[in-house]
Amino acid sequence: MHEPPPITSRRRGVRAIPAWSALSVSRSFLLNWWKNGLQLKLRMRIYPDGLLIAAIYALACWATRQISVDQFYLGAGIRVSALLLCPPRLWPYLLLGEYAYFAQMRFPMIETHGTPWVIFGSVFLMPTAMFLAKVHRARIYRASDAWMLSLAVSVAASITLLNVVLSQLLWPVPPSLPALSRAVRYVLGDFIGILTVAPLALLWIRRRPDRYWAARRSVPTAACLSMMLVLGLGCAQLPPESTVERTTLQLLTSLPAIALTCILGWPGAALAVPLLNLTVGLTMPTSNLPWSFDSTTFTVQQILALASAALLALGSTISRYYHRCLANAFSRSKAAALVRTSHYAGEMDLRHRALEINRIGDSVDRYLSETASWLKAQGHEQIAGNLVRTSGMYSRKFREQASMVYPTALEHVGLYLTLQAGGISEAWSNTGCLVEPRLAGDPCRLTVPLQLAAYRAVTEAVSLLLQRESGHVRINARCGRSGGSDGILIVVAMLDTRHKLSDATRELALETLSGRAMAYGGAVHCRRNRIRMLFLDASCA
* The pLDDT value given to residue 24: 56
Q: What is the DSSP letter of 422?
A: S
What is the CATH topology of the domain spanning 410-540? Heat Shock Protein 90 (3.30.565)
> Residue 531 phi/psi, 5° resolution?
-115, 120
The DSSP code sequence of 260-298 is: HHHHHSHHHHHHHHHHHHHHHHHHS---SSTT---HHHH
Question: Are 76 and 190 in contact, with CB atoms under 8 Å apart?
Answer: yes
Question: Are 16 and 7 in contact, with CB atoms under 8 Å apart?
Answer: yes
Question: Are 322 and 213 in contact, with CB atoms under 8 Å apart?
Answer: no
Question: Are 107 and 67 in contact, with CB atoms under 8 Å apart?
Answer: no
* The pLDDT value given to residue 285: 66
* The pLDDT value given to residue 483: 72
* The pLDDT value given to residue 15: 45
Question: Are 439 and 467 in contact, with CB atoms under 8 Å apart?
Answer: no
Distances 131 to 81, 203, 484 between C-alpha atoms, Å:
14, 22, 54
Distance, in Å, from the CA atom of 103 to the CA atom of 97, rounded to the nearest integer, reads 10
* The pLDDT value given to residue 96: 93
* The pLDDT value given to residue 130: 94
Question: Are 224 and 259 in contact, with CB atoms under 8 Å apart?
Answer: yes
- Kind of pairing between the strands at 530-536 and 38-39: unpaired
**Of 466, 384, 451, residue with least CA distance to 415:** 451
Question: Are 515 and 477 in contact, with CB atoms under 8 Å apart?
Answer: no
The answer for residues whose C-beta is within 8 angstroms of residue 210's C-beta and 6 or more apart is: none
Vertex 372: Cα angle to 370 and 376 (nearest 5):
115
Describe the crossing of helices 147-170 and 115-123 by its angle, rounded to 10 degrees: 170
**Of 404, 413, 398, residue with least CA distance to 363:** 398
* The pLDDT value given to residue 71: 78
| pTM for this entry | 0.71
Q: What is the radius of gyration, based on Cα positions, of the chain?
A: 41
Distance, in Å, from the CA atom of 253 to the CA atom of 257, rounded to the nearest integer, reads 7
The H or E element that residue 127 is part of is helix 125-142
Describe the crossing of helices 266-283 and 179-205 by its angle, rounded to 10 degrees: 140
Q: What is the DSSP letter of 32?
A: H
Domain boundaries, the chain: 32-207, 410-540
Tell me, yes or no, if the two domains 32-207 and 410-540 fold the same way.
no
* The pLDDT value given to residue 525: 93
| CATH 1.10.10 describes domain 32-207 | no
* The pLDDT value given to residue 538: 63
| Per-residue pLDDT in tens (0 to 9) along the chain, 541 residues | 344 444 444 334 444 444 444 445 455 655 554 455 544 444 456 677 888 999 999 999 999 988 887 778 899 999 999 999 999 989 999 999 999 999 998 888 888 888 898 899 889 999 999 999 999 888 887 766 778 899 999 999 999 999 999 988 888 887 877 888 888 888 998 999 999 999 999 888 877 655 545 556 778 888 888 998 888 888 888 887 777 888 788 788 889 999 999 988 888 899 999 998 888 877 776 655 555 566 766 777 788 889 889 999 998 888 888 888 888 888 888 888 888 888 888 888 888 888 888 888 888 888 888 888 888 888 888 888 888 888 888 878 877 777 788 888 888 888 998 888 877 888 888 888 888 899 999 898 898 999 999 999 999 999 999 999 988 999 999 998 877 788 999 999 999 888 899 999 999 999 999 988 988 888 999 988 999 999 998 654 4
